A and B are shown apart, each in its own frame.
Chain A
Amino acid sequence: MAGDPEAVRALWETHRRWVAAVILAHKPRDAELEDLLQEVAVRYVRTIHELRDPASLRGWLRAVAVNVARTAGRRSSTRLRLTKGGAAGMSAGVGATEDVSVEVAAAEEGRSALEAAQRLRPEYREPLLLRCVRGMTYHQIAHAMGLPITTVETRLARARRMLIEEMERHRTGAAND
């Protein structure tokens, strides 16, 4: 597989979303997800041929992603920000009218929930974000993180409870402002 560029590329496409979620869970706030994911992609292509056991791919990719995300904290980023997040790749721009759609409001709530999740400790944040990637099961999260399923389940349960409290705190705080 390592010698087949098409297979290498296809495999990356299968995994890049959850790898991005891992980076999102560990990166500093000012580091750009795109830059870090690009860096992981480069390391993946450079070193995939060294991977002897295909079954260990998830764990290996996660280790690379965590490493890239954490070391990004030592670099400053001045990346220009073209939009402020958005709904499925969109965001309300300068010309947005007052007729803001339900879709944009939902995206805003989603962004707020993500910010709340990012205030949790990394060991809770990571499985929570991974669970939001389409198709990631408890089993796959456990495999990627190198943890027993029961531990993942316990962390998710705690994380979700903390998330609800954090969102409630944020809502209450916003209402009091």
Chain B
Amino acid sequence: MEPTREDILIGRVTDAEAAPDDWRELEALAAADPGVWTRLAAAQRAHALLERGVEDVLTVAELIDAPDASAARSGAAVDVAHRWRAYAGWAAAAMIGVAWAGVSGVLPGASSPSGVPGAPGGQGVITAGPPRLAPDELMERYLDTGRAQGRVLAELPMVMVESRPLESGEGAEVIYLRQVLERVIVRDMFEVGADELGRPTVAPVMRPSFTRTDPI
């Protein structure tokens, strides 16, 4: 199935590669067969949809930076991506009510500006910044600091929870979840549960080994 001249011209127009002569040639074809415009519209629609799908998937590329040469040589950078599976378990454990105590610091030698080592949410890091920063800037600062200290492993794709058009007709309100994959070193772990009367209880987790493999 060799492409026809029409296919080539439609391709050029769709890809914004058409020269004036290409347009003239396509218009001449369309004068004889108006179905050309329908096929052009179909090609443009297919391209727009595919472009959308590809762009959405490729947003992940922005998260992948070139590692330092020393890390690349040792293979450490690759390990980070593969270690996600194991560490994701800790993030999931936090979500189901596991509390930790006696946090010994993010990483050996790392310190927390908040004075609350390993405090969930890293409040100390955020409040240490200059006032009047926008939330996004503060969040970026938190992520940068977390990455530098080894606490933040990655920011995962956002999850849209809800969206609705604004009454003004311009734009939409979007509610979404931001997910940050983090790592901390802890001495002890406790599980928050409930007794038979529904009262909250705290019990030590004897074997703190957990790996999540199901979708969060």
Contacts and interface: CB of A to CB of B under 8 A. Distances in A.
Interface of A: 5, 8-9, 12-13, 16-17, 19-21, 24, 33-35, 37-39, 41-46, 78-83, 85-93, 95-97, 99-104, 106-107, 109-117, 128-129, 131-134, 137-138, 153-154, 156-158, 160-161, 163-164, 167
A16 B64 CA distance: 8
A157 B11 contact: yes
A113 B77 CA distance: 33
8 closest A-B pairs by beta carbon, nearest first, are: A110-B52, A114-B53, A110-B53, A157-B3, A93-B159, A113-B49, A12-B66, A132-B54
B66 A44 contact: yes
B85 interface: yes
Task: Classify the secondary structure of A's interface with B.
Answer: helix
A91 B69 contact: no
Contacts of B125: none
A31 to B, nearest CB: 12
A36 to B, nearest CB: 9
Interface residues of B, number: 67
A82 B156 contact: yes
B179 A82 contact: yes
Interface string B152-165: 00001111111111
Contact of B56 (A9, A44, A89): A89
A89 B158 contact: yes
Given A83-B156, A90-B159, A133 B58 contact: yes
Contacts of A161: 1, 3, 7
Given A46-B73, A91-B159, A158-B7, A38 B54 contact: no
Given A80-B88, A89-B59, A131-B15, A45 B67 contact: yes
